[in-house]
Amino acid sequence: MVQRVGLYPGTFDPITLGHMDIIRRGSKLVDKLVIGVTTNPSKSPLFNLDERLAMVRRECAGIDTEIEVRPFDSLLIDYARSVGASMILRGLRAVADFEYEYQMAGMNQYLDASIETVFLMADVALQPIASRLVKEIAGLGGDISKFVSPDVRDDVMAQLSARKA
């Protein structure tokens, strides 16, 4: 039997409850889920790559599906091929997400039609959550406990304190 492998790419800076919702739901669609953690040069990361990898691994530890958390810094479709993925998993929060993701899915299909892009809508309660906003709220002293796990909240607060020191 062929193993169904899915790839969920992102920066996960930090990993939010919205990401975890997509990971939990998406993991039910595949035999193995590879979470590809990348660095987006257009974003200013709060956490370095190793810290984000560790954070994602910790947060995913209790999920039953086989999950592998790996770094990548290549073209997404090439990375999907390299991990044997037949599916790229993407979460959608709003119409603005869809327009960007639809264009990316079209390009990826053009590059390799054998790898499908599957969109999952974020849980309604989690739709407003974005890593960028979580960092902004925390940086301004706001409470982020509704958007991230307690461990991630502690990570974010420690990182922000270290930067101020």
Catalytic member of 19, 52, 90, 135: 19
Active site (annotated) includes residue 86 = no
Catalytic member of 4, 32, 81, 93: 93
How far is it, in rounded angstroms, from Cα 86 to Cα 141?
42
Catalytic member of 43, 74, 132, 145: 43
Active site (annotated) includes residue 153 = no
Active site (annotated) includes residue 27 = no
Q: Cα 132 vs. chain centroid, distance in angstroms?
A: 13
Residue 83's nearest CA partner among 134, 37, 51 is 37
Q: What is the dihedral of CA 101, 57, 71, 122, to 10 degrees?
A: 0
How far is it, in rounded angstroms, from Cα 141 to Cα 158?
13
Catalytic member of 27, 90, 131, 135: 131
Active site (annotated) includes residue 70 = no
How many Cβ atoms from other residues are within 10 Å of residue 6's Cβ? 23
As annotated, the active-site residues are 19, 43, 93, 131
